[in-house]
């Protein structure tokens, strides 16, 4: 279209010039004076020369316009193509981020790569800690700058004893707040989105992860907050904690290994109910259990009776043998929980 308009403009200029020459030719022959004839001849000559020069200039201008149009067309095409690639990548990113049921294939990965932006993005650089999870599901990601459009991603993640990794994979920036990384070896894509002071990660595909492990979650560059970090102080009184510590210490056992770590790094539950002993007697009180699904810590089975006695059983998943400790001189084994009717 630009070329057509330029040619139309040149045609208009040429027509105007020819009209001007014709007017001069009509006026000059009306005089019979010799000087007028000379002047007329000179005028025609100058006009012819001017016409030739202007025509040459117009031709040169037309060539310049064509060349300029070609350059503009190329730049416009590249800009439009780049914009379309980014918009398609941004839309796909949001779909994948919000819908884990969408399968990421090679075509999707290529669409994402078509939208990669060459920006200097420092927002993602640093160490990010997974937050608002239990301590047994902690994790972190380290992001290092590689180029204006890429970075290097590493990470480690836990799930109650099972673990997983992101090992030196390339991350690609889509915008100041979004990026993605592809783990080709373990067939996974990781989507990163910054919102305020935190970063969300959405994992698509298995990746190099053990059972139950993923990189999904919210991350911060500050100290993480764990949803179970206050479980012990909420579940027990100070007197009960002192008595438990003394019971373990009297038996030469480590309080942290046998009590704190199982609660903080296992799946911890509490309930109110009765206990039944081997002779059939029952006792009311509170139950505390903590199980580490993948054996990261000892398991804990604890009953505190209403009269203050402590019954504690500790063991590992891989062992059938459990250790029993109590403040009740008359008990030799762990009581069982009385099932309540639902």
Give residue 101's Cα distance to chain centre: 17
3-state secondary structure the chain: CHHHHHHHHHHHHHHHHHHHHHHHHHHHHHCCCHHHHHHHHHHHHHHHHHHHHHHHHHHHHHHHHHHHHHHHHHHHHHHHHHHHHHHHHHHHHHHHHHCCCCCCCHHHHHHHHHCCCCCCCCCCCEEEEEECECHHHCEEEEEEECCCCEEEEEEEEEEECEEEEEEEEEEEECCCCEEEEEECCCCEEEEEEEECCEEEEEEEECCEECCCCCCCEEEECCCCCECCCCHHHHHCCHHHHHHHHHHHHHCCCCHHHHHHHHHHHCEEEEEEEEEECCCCCEEEEEEEEEECCCCCCCEEEEEEECCCCEEEEEECCCCCCCEEEECCCCCCCCCEECCCCC
Which pLDDT tens digits describe the chain residue by residue (342 residues)? 434 433 443 344 344 433 344 333 433 333 334 433 433 434 444 545 555 555 455 555 545 555 455 544 544 454 445 678 889 999 999 999 999 999 899 999 999 999 998 887 789 999 999 999 999 999 999 999 998 889 999 999 999 989 999 999 999 999 999 999 999 999 999 999 999 999 999 999 999 999 999 999 999 999 999 999 999 999 999 999 999 999 999 999 999 999 999 999 999 999 999 999 988 999 999 999 999 888 788 999 999 999 999 999 999 876 667 899 999 999 999 999 987 654
Phi-psi category of residue 8: left, alpha or beta, with phi > 0 → left and psi -120 to 50 → alpha? alpha
Cross-strand pairs, 92: none
pTM: 0.73
């Amino acid at each position: 279209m630009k070329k057509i308009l330029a040619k139309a403009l040149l045609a208009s200029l040429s027509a105007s010039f020819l009209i001007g020459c014709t007017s001069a030719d009509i006026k000059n022959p009306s005089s019979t004076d010799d000087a007028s004839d000379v002047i007329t001849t000179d005028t025609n000559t100058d006009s012819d020369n001017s016409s030739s020069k202007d025509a040459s200039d117009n031709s040169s201008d037309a060539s310049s316009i064509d060349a300029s149009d070609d350059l503009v067309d190329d730049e416009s095409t590249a800009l439009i193509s780049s914009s379309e690639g980014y918009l398609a990548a941004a839309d796909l990113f949001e779909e994948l981020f919000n819908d884990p049921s969408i399968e990421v294939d090679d075509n999707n990965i290529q669409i994402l790569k078509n939208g990669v932006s060459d920006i200097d993005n420092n927002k993602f650089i640093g160490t990010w800690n997974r937050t608002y999870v239990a301590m047994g599901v902690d994790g972190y990601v380290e992001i290092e700058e590689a180029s204006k459009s890429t970075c290097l991603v590493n990470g480690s993640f836990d799930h109650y004893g099972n673990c997983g990794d992101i090992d030196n994979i390339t991350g690609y920036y889509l915008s100041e707040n979004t990026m993605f990384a592809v783990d080709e070896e373990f067939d996974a894509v990781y989507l990163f989105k910054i919102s305020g002071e935190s970063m969300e990660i959405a994992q698509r595909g298995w990746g190099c992860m053990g059972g139950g492990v993923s990189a999904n979650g919210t991350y911060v560059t500050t100290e993480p907050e764990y949803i179970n970090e206050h479980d012990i102080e909420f579940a027990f009184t100070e007197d009960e904690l002192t008595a438990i510590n003394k019971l373990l210490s009297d038996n030469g056992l480590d309080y942290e290994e046998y009590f704190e770590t199982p609660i903080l790094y296992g799946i911890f539950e509490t309930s109110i109910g009765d206990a039944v002993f081997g002779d059939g007697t029952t006792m009311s009180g509170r139950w505390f259990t903590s199980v580490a699904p993948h054996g990261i810590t000892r398991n804990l089975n604890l009953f505190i009776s209403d009269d203050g006695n402590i019954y504690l059983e500790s063991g590992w998943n891989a062992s059938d043998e459990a250790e029993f400790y109590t403040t009740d001189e008359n008990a030799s084994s762990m009581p069982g929980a009385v099932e309540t009717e639902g």
